[in-house]
Chains A and B, each alone.
Chain A
Amino acid sequence: MRKTLEEVIQTWEPVIGLEIHTEITATRTKMFCGCQIAHGGEPNTRVCPVCLGMPGALPVPNEAAIEWTVLAGLATDCEIERVSQFHRKNYFYPDMPKNYQISQYDRPFCKDGHLTIEVDKEGLAQRLDRDLQAESYETRIGITRIHLEEDTGKMVHVGGSEGRIAGATHSLVDYNRAGTPLMELVSEPDIRTPEEARRFVQKLRLIWLTLGISDGNLENGSMRVDANISLRPRGATELGTRAEVKNMNSFKALHDAVAYEITRQAEVLEEGGRVVQETRHWDAGRKVTSSLRSKEEANDYRYFPEPDMVPFEFSEEFIAGVAARLPELPDARRRRFMSDYGLPASDATILTSDLELCAYYEAAAIGLDAELAKPLANLIVNDLVGALNTRSEELSESQVSPQAAAELVTLCDEGAISGKQAKEVFAEMVETGADPAAIIERKGLKQVSDSAELAGIIDGILAANPDKVEGYRAGKTGLMGFFVGQVMRQTGGQANPQVVNELLGERLGGERLGA
């Protein structure tokens, strides 16, 4: 019986490094030619002699793609290399027109960066070396390098099962994607748990989206994650043999694949076997990783400097110019939400980990009293997000405008409606998208807080029940409920209870009720 992850980590320490490929979708054209970038489209319609590897064609690097990569490096605290260049990585594959990939080798554009991730309570269970009582923990993951290369074309494998390469009789090649700028980030083996792996990629994706460098879509492959996983006995320092796991196209798949591979390797090792250094394929359906390789043949990529291009020398001015394009990054934004809006860390994290939600909150918060920032966050983080989940709606589809949300919070604060009524109003806002004031009006939910109006009603009731007034004054304070009930009946339940209590108190002999 295979052990669970929690059991495995009692004896083994997982060591995980990630390689993350991101298609730069922010450029208009491909990495080395002027063909336009887009997903889909008729096969082989966005191609030219360069990206088809036609005889005599030459690559010319896209300056925008290089600037985006430098920006990505600056956003992840990387060193930007002052001198860098492209290399050729030589291997034959049908989706790679030149049978070498123009990539970078010993002189990448960016190196030695890092990212700090926050893992919350459920993630704690996967680590022994952390305070399990803590609410969450932060950990810093090193970034070895970020380099730029060209993407390959796409193949459709025909004749096999569900389009897999194994068992296929032939394949069809489409080069539309060939030459798309592809940024590869390599992390240090600083990751210890499946949850950390997931958080790292989520954080990275959020940064890419904040920069606008890519659509960061894991499902369609704009972002591709490979995980290098090995185990070592707790306390050991040298690394064990690693396996590389591919084909995780969602955050859940990444988490589950890493967790599976850890338990698989533990089983192999505990049965006295050895982990084979190989590439394994995550099968999301069967929830297992399986070996991709018929036999393990060491690759010999024969890297050498790309002679069709000249080196790059980045001046301080150039780097400063790119740095000037840096927007507010997620960490800074989260700190600002805590300091400027006075939000608790949990709310700030939720609001800033989704760009749409973040923009929604800021739009709603404009011109709102400072003390309402928190109630607004509660409304959005709890009620709105909750409603979206139950209706499985995107925020963009929601009928509740930021202004309407802010208005509801304000009305509630002014006492125009009670908190209970607010929930009722919000439910209808979600349904109809109507303005809160209008809903309150139509439902006649308006709360009567006007003391003069209430005083009149109360005096009438006291005059009509002199005996009860007597009884109360004689000490039957329980009669207070009767008076309040009368007021509520006459006001259709809309009297502001607080005001009613105060007025009755004054008239029935000044004693503060409940005193």
Chain B
Amino acid sequence: MALTQEEVRHVALLARLKLADEQVATLQTELNSILGHIDQISQLDLAGVEPMVHAIPLVNSTREDVPVPGLDHERALANAPQRASDAILIPRIIGPEADA
């Protein structure tokens, strides 16, 4: 499967990456060479094989419903690029973001 530049742009939007036109071209070449190699996996006949999420046979890993101290307010916001007192400040939401 070879990626078109249109697909590269679409994937970049899904991944929220702003690409310059020359980047789109370079990525198209690089991704297609990588995908070219990856595609060999489609040669494997894996009909009826169970997909593996984890290599270790572990199930039902949960925690008890017991409170654990969280982050102190100041530490929680210590890395915030922009704050308005006790909340995180962000610019307006428009376009596809407003649809979510």
Q: Is the CB of B63 within 8 A of A60?
A: yes
Stretch of B20-28, B31-39, B41-49, B68-76 that contacts chain A: B68-76
Is B77 part of the binding interface, using a Cβ–Cβ cutoff of 8 Å?
A: yes
Chain B 83-97 interface 0/1 with A at a Cβ cutoff of 8 Å (1 = within): 010111111111111
Q: Number of B residues contacting the other chain (C-beta, 8 Å)?
A: 38
Q: Main SS of the interface on chain B?
A: loop
Given contacts A48-B71, A307-B54, contact A156 B60 (CB under 8 A): no
Interface centre among A44, A49, A51, A62 (most CB of B within 10 A): A44
> Nearest chain B CB to A421's CB is how many angstroms away?
55
Q: Is the CB of B62 within 8 A of A66?
A: yes
Chain A 160-199 interface 0/1 with B at a Cβ cutoff of 8 Å (1 = within): 0000011011111110000000000000000000000000
> A157 CA to B93 CA in the complex, in Å?
9
Q: Is the CB of A170 within 8 A of B92?
A: yes
Stretch of A294-302, A329-337, A401-409 that contacts chain B: A294-302
Given contacts A92-B16, A293-B99, contact A170 B53 (CB under 8 A): no
Is A45 part of the binding interface, using a Cβ–Cβ cutoff of 8 Å?
A: yes
- CB nearest neighbor in A for B60: A312
Q: Is the CB of A34 within 8 A of B66?
A: yes
> Nearest chain B CB to A58's CB is how many angstroms away?
11
- CB nearest neighbor in A for B71: A48
8 A Cβ contacts from B10-30 to A: 14, 16
Residues from chain B with Cβ under 8 Å of A60 in the complex:
61-63
Q: Is the CB of A46 within 8 A of B70?
A: yes
Residues from chain A with Cβ under 8 Å of B77 in the complex:
44
> A46 CA to B68 CA in the complex, in Å?
11
8 A Cβ contacts from A288-343 to B: 292-294, 297, 299-300, 302, 305, 307, 309-313
Q: Is the CB of A61 within 8 A of B70?
A: no
Q: Is the CB of B62 within 8 A of A302?
A: no
7 tightest CB-CB pairs across the interface, nearest first? A34-B68, A48-B70, A64-B65, A172-B87, A63-B62, A93-B100, A173-B88
Given contacts A63-B65, A293-B99, contact A310 B73 (CB under 8 A): no
Given contacts A169-B92, A311-B53, contact A92 B67 (CB under 8 A): no
Q: Is the CB of A171 within 8 A of B92?
A: yes
Is B1 part of the binding interface, using a Cβ–Cβ cutoff of 8 Å?
A: no
- CB nearest neighbor in B for A171: B90
Chosen A-B contacts, 18 in total, with CB atoms closer than 8 Å, are: A29-B65, A34-B66, A34-B70, A45-B86, A48-B68, A49-B71, A60-B62, A60-B63, A61-B63, A92-B16, A92-B97, A92-B100, A94-B97, A171-B93, A172-B84, A174-B86, A294-B95, A310-B56
Given contacts A66-B62, A310-B54, contact A279 B14 (CB under 8 A): no
Given contacts A47-B71, A305-B53, A310-B60, contact A27 B65 (CB under 8 A): yes
Given contacts A44-B77, A92-B16, A170-B91, contact A29 B86 (CB under 8 A): no
Q: Is the CB of A172 within 8 A of B88?
A: yes
Residues from chain B with Cβ under 8 Å of A172 in the complex:
84, 87-90
> Nearest chain A CB to B9's CB is how many angstroms away?
14
Given contacts A44-B77, A307-B54, contact A62 B65 (CB under 8 A): yes
Is A114 part of the binding interface, using a Cβ–Cβ cutoff of 8 Å?
A: no
> A121 CA to B66 CA in the complex, in Å?
48
Residues from chain A with Cβ under 8 Å of B90 in the complex:
94, 170-173
Q: Is the CB of B93 within 8 A of A168?
A: yes
> Nearest chain A CB to B42's CB is how many angstroms away?
18
Q: Is the CB of A35 within 8 A of B95?
A: no
Residues from chain B with Cβ under 8 Å of A156 in the complex:
87
Q: Is the CB of B70 within 8 A of A165?
A: no
Q: Is the CB of A44 within 8 A of B98?
A: no
- CB nearest neighbor in B for A159: B92
Is A425 part of the binding interface, using a Cβ–Cβ cutoff of 8 Å?
A: no
Is A36 part of the binding interface, using a Cβ–Cβ cutoff of 8 Å?
A: yes
> Nearest chain A CB to B98's CB is how many angstroms away?
6
Residues from chain A with Cβ under 8 Å of B88 in the complex:
44, 172-173
